[in-house]
Structure 1
Amino acid sequence: MEKNLKKSNSESNDDVPPSTHPSFFIGSSVIPIINKLQDIFAPLGDIDDRLTGLRLPQVAVIGSQSSGKSSVLEALVGRDFLPRGSDICTRRPLVLQLEKRSAGIGNDSLEWGEFAHLPEKRFYDFSAIRREILAETEKEVGVNKGVSDKQIRLKICSPNVLNITLVDLPGITKVPVGDQPSDIEARIRNMIMSYIKQENSIILAVSPANADLANSDALQMAKQVDPTGTRTIGVITKLDIMDKGTNARNFLLGKVIPLRLGYIGVVNRSQEDINNNRPIREALAYEEQFFRDYHVYRGLSDRCGIPQLAKKLNQILEQHIRNVLPTLKTDLTSHLVAVEKELRAYGEALESKGERGAMLLNILTKYSEAFSSEVDGKSQAMTTKELSGGARIHHIFQSIFVKSLEEQIFVPQLVSCCF
């Protein structure tokens, strides 16, 4: 693990000055390191929990069903790739690693995605990515509306994204549908809590502007684990469909529910836009024009729009990683030393089958000899305070077992005499 850290650092510090390096982007120096660690830890389960009790730094995306989470994530990527529908769509946590890369030649100039469960296979068709997410979800939880906490890991490389690691979590729902259990709301909340309670997680709380922000499920859950708002970013969606005469200016300024990291307002594609396959590029242009024309939001350019959200997430995640990386490296090193010590206790590594067979035979022989010594009363570990070994076995058969047999024989005889 430490070698991977050193390798990643060396790869990002070659002879080309960082400011002119073709792969230099905001957050490119540390976020890929965490992504590599996540890829290493993923097959091992919660090994990071055993290290520090904390998850690796990432952005947990939470919100109620139909709050606009999927639209926000697709806008950050610039492509349609998430399952859609009127019911719950995200039924397994989706770990989404966005990796900015320079445009190349031929296929290398295209955007592509890669799943952790399908390594070496690149998806250039984002509709195929959506189908694969659906297939993996149904493989785990069935074709109905069940949910699971087993992750799907997806990396998307593109020249149009910034380096960000996000976890799209199931939307908070109230009423069970399909084959969902009656306690589906509690299960989803517990799943969300398992991510956002970790101090290394940045919380992206998504709330629709056409609902009362004070009743936002996402903000309420975030406040439970982050009461001071130091690691929560608020996203207010659907600003263009607010009731006439209302606006979200005070929300964006943090005057209603303050958050240290602030709020970003965005405009989502409507369901009609999605049904008509309106390109995200056009939707982003519409969003930019909306904020330019709506005088209420003038002067809040740093708090409005998907591009500002991407930049803010990237910068906050990078700084957060830089803050926790020294502690994380220390924990990894100490854990590595402990594992190496335990490994050495098992003896030298054996390469050939013959060596492994000889070692196994030696272990079995030592066990057989130790067992025989225990039975014969020759073991040095035997105590003089009580019977042990063969003497204990003799006592059991001659006293305890015989007495039990006599009791079993005596009872039927007594019963027959009475009658």
Structure 2
Amino acid sequence: MENLISLVNKIQRACTALGDHGEASALPTLWDSLPAIAVVGGQSSGKSSVLESIVGKDFLPRGSGIVTRRPLVLQLHKIEEGSREYAEFLHLPRKRFTDFAAVRKEISDETDRETGRSKQISSVPIHLSIYSPNVVNLTLIDLPGLTKVAVEGQSDTIVQEIENMVRSYIEKPNCIILAISPANQDLATSDAIRISREVDPTGERTLGVLTKIDLMDKGTDAVEILEGKSYRLKFPWVGL
């Protein structure tokens, strides 16, 4: 299995380098045939916290509005115990980052190189590999947060553009959807659950993650959600 995951990682890197990165197209591509885990959620839903918990490092840009403006293909590689953790970007071959604050800055800078310093989005992904003894071999795709309104500096169509981009990844039958929903908001209004339900109505490839449990209003309870009584998925909900 480890050899298979390693092979898939290499093929995904090759696809990205060749410009095949899951964009909606009339014809199927090699990327479409590969398994993927896509991280989906609304703005400020806690997507960054989930990813950083998996990695064990703070490395993602933070801020208000749409922070993730390009897909981030994050490949985790387990290395020997005692080895020093480092990161590499596909667009900066042979450059190792051991300072994860510098990783965060490079993600922001590379986003700006593609989109300018505007608040627009791009479907061209950033490819980041992290090597650490504290991770498992895994590939995750962090997608821009779903939003309901455009802010100053964004086109009026950006709401639909983001949804189209997210849908182009998660509608593929070989994509596992990591649906992030904050516990301090009504699950019925969750953007992640709404769009996941549309492409995976039976919940067979959706994993629900409930974030911000510590911010729930006094007197509220997350148990019904975590037990699948509010919205049932094939697999149990995870609380964070």
- Give the TM bin, normalised by the shorter chain: over 0.9
Residues 44-68 of structure 1 deviation map (CA, whole Å, 9 limit, x = unaligned): 2338864578341111001000000
| Structure 2 counterpart of 1:41 | 15
| Structure 1 counterpart of 2:204 | 230
| Structure 2 counterpart of 1:273 | none
| Structure 2 counterpart of 1:70 | 48
Larger Rg: 1
| Distance in structure 2 (CA, Å) of the matches to 1:196 and 1:172 | 13
| Distance in structure 2 (CA, Å) of the matches to 1:47 and 1:90 | 17
What is the alpha-carbon root mean square deviation over aligned residues?
1.6
Asked if the contact 1:144–1:178 (Cα under 8 Å) also holds between the matched residues in 2, the reply is no
Change (3 A) 1:255 1:47: closer
| Structure 1 counterpart of 2:182 | 208
| Structure 2 counterpart of 1:122 | 96
| Distance in structure 2 (CA, Å) of the matches to 1:92 and 1:58 | 17
3-state SS of 1:162 partner: coil
Q: Which has the higher contact order (CA 8 A, sep 6+)?
A: 2
Say which of 138, 141, 145 aligns to 2:112. Answer: 138
Residues 5-51 of structure 1 deviation map (CA, whole Å, 9 limit, x = unaligned): xxxxxxxxxxxxxxxxxxxxxx5232212101111222223388645
| Distance in structure 2 (CA, Å) of the matches to 1:46 and 1:138 | 21
| Distance in structure 2 (CA, Å) of the matches to 1:140 and 1:197 | 25
| Structure 2 counterpart of 1:187 | 161
Say which of 71, 94, 97 aligns to 1:93. Answer: 71
Say which of 39, 42, 59 aligns to 2:37. Answer: 59
3-state SS of 1:34 partner: helix
Asked if the contact 2:20–2:29 (Cα under 8 Å) also holds between the matched residues in 1, the reply is no
Q: Which has the higher strand share?
A: 2
Identity %: 55
- The reply on whether 1:28 has 2:2 as its aligned counterpart is yes
Please give the residue correspondences for 1:392-403 in structure 2 after superposition, counting only pairs within 5 Å.
none
- The reply on whether 1:84 has 2:58 as its aligned counterpart is no
Please give the residue correspondences for 1:172-183 in structure 2 after superposition, counting only pairs within 5 Å.
172-183=146-157
Asked if the contact 1:35–1:165 (Cα under 8 Å) also holds between the matched residues in 2, the reply is yes
| Distance in structure 2 (CA, Å) of the matches to 1:93 and 1:154 | 11
The unaligned stretches of length 5 or more in structure 2 are none
Please give the residue correspondences for 1:137-286 in structure 2 after superposition, counting only pairs within 5 Å.
137-266=111-240
Asked if the contact 2:178–2:207 (Cα under 8 Å) also holds between the matched residues in 1, the reply is yes
3-state SS of 2:3 partner: coil
Residues 324-373 of structure 1 deviation map (CA, whole Å, 9 limit, x = unaligned): xxxxxxxxxxxxxxxxxxxxxxxxxxxxxxxxxxxxxxxxxxxxxxxxxx
Residues 213-257 of structure 1 deviation map (CA, whole Å, 9 limit, x = unaligned): 121110110011101100000000011111112111111111111
Residues 146-204 of structure 1 deviation map (CA, whole Å, 9 limit, x = unaligned): 11101000000101111221000000112212421101110000000000001111000
Change (3 A) 1:191 1:249: same
Change (3 A) 1:39 1:63: same
| Distance in structure 2 (CA, Å) of the matches to 1:238 and 1:118 | 35
3-state SS of 1:54 partner: helix
3-state SS of 1:134 partner: helix
| Distance in structure 2 (CA, Å) of the matches to 1:97 and 1:118 | 15
| Distance in structure 2 (CA, Å) of the matches to 1:179 and 1:47 | 26
* TM-score with structure 1 setting the length: 0.54
Please give the residue correspondences for 1:289-304 in structure 2 after superposition, counting only pairs within 5 Å.
none
| Distance in structure 2 (CA, Å) of the matches to 1:47 and 1:120 | 22
Asked if the contact 1:92–1:152 (Cα under 8 Å) also holds between the matched residues in 2, the reply is yes
* TM-score with structure 2 setting the length: 0.93
3-state SS of 1:81 partner: coil
Q: Give the letter aligned to residue 39 of structure 1.
A: R
The unaligned stretches of length 5 or more in structure 1 are 1-26, 267-419
| Distance in structure 1 (CA, Å) of the matches to 2:116 and 2:213 | 35
3-state SS of 1:30 partner: helix
Report the Cα offset of residue 76 of structure 1: 0.9
